[in-house]
């Protein structure tokens, strides 16, 4: 037997298993059977029928090869992990408690929520209608004032007047 006897889907699986780059004449339709067979035979390390029988088939029977769906799922999970590293989500109260509070809060900024929401929470800081003021680190203040509507820098006198 040879690669010619395999169908296009089987050849695609073999090419993915051996990590062979296949150049398709029409990328929208994907590679043809001829292009798959040519890609397996070409390259720095061509895939032989012997490689197929000795490596691919036993891995497939043992279940150690990964289906396309499994590979796509792994890629999706990896992309999500990278996305989380790039843009961390707001932390819950439990997560905030685990993070040690900075000792020096002298550079923190007083921010007031003027939104119509009953409450708004970000980065472990909670603003409510009853308590619209909060002292936050500079990076949080910059984010709230520049990126989120309804927040502004507040004056200390405003807090005193509000709570008195």
Instruction: In whole angstroms, give the CA distance from residue 85 to residue 92.
Output: 17
Res 130: pLDDT: 92
Res 3: pLDDT: 83
In DSSP terms, which residues pair with 135 in a beta bridge? 110
Write the CB contacts of 20 (distance below 8 Å, at least 6 apart in sequence): 14, 39, 40, 43, 47
Distances from the Cα of 72 to the Cα of 19, 78, 156, angstroms: 14, 10, 53
In whole numbers, what is the pLDDT of the chain averaged over residues?
A: 80
Q: Which of 8-22, 115-129, 131-145 has the lowest mean pLDDT?
A: 8-22
Res 77: pLDDT: 76
pLDDT in tens, 54-101: 887 877 776 655 555 565 666 677 777 665 555 555 655 555 555 565
Contact between residue 88 and residue 80 where contact means Cβ atoms under 8 Å apart: no
Instruction: In whole angstroms, give the CA distance from residue 136 to residue 109.
Output: 5
Does the pLDDT of residue 114 top 90, yes or no? yes
């Amino acid at each position: 037997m040879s690669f010619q006897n395999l169908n296009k889907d089987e050849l695609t699986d073999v090419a993915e298993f051996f990590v062979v780059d296949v150049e398709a004449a029409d990328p929208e339709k994907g590679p043809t059977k001829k292009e798959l067979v040519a890609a397996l035979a070409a390259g720095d390390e061509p895939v032989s029928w012997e490689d197929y029988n000795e490596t691919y088939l036993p891995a497939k029977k043992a279940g150690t090869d990964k289906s396309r769906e499994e590979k796509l799922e792994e890629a999706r999970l990896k992309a999500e992990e990278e996305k989380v590293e790039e843009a961390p989500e707001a932390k819950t109260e439990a997560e905030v408690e685990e993070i040690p509070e900075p000792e020096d809060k002298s550079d923190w900024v007083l921010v007031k929520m003027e939104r119509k929401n009953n409450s708004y929470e970000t980065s472990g800081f909670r603003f409510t209608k009853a308590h619209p003021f909060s002292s936050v680190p500079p990076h949080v203040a910059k984010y709230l004032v520049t990126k989120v509507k309804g927040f502004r820098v507040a004056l200390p006198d405003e807090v005193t007047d509000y709570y008195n």
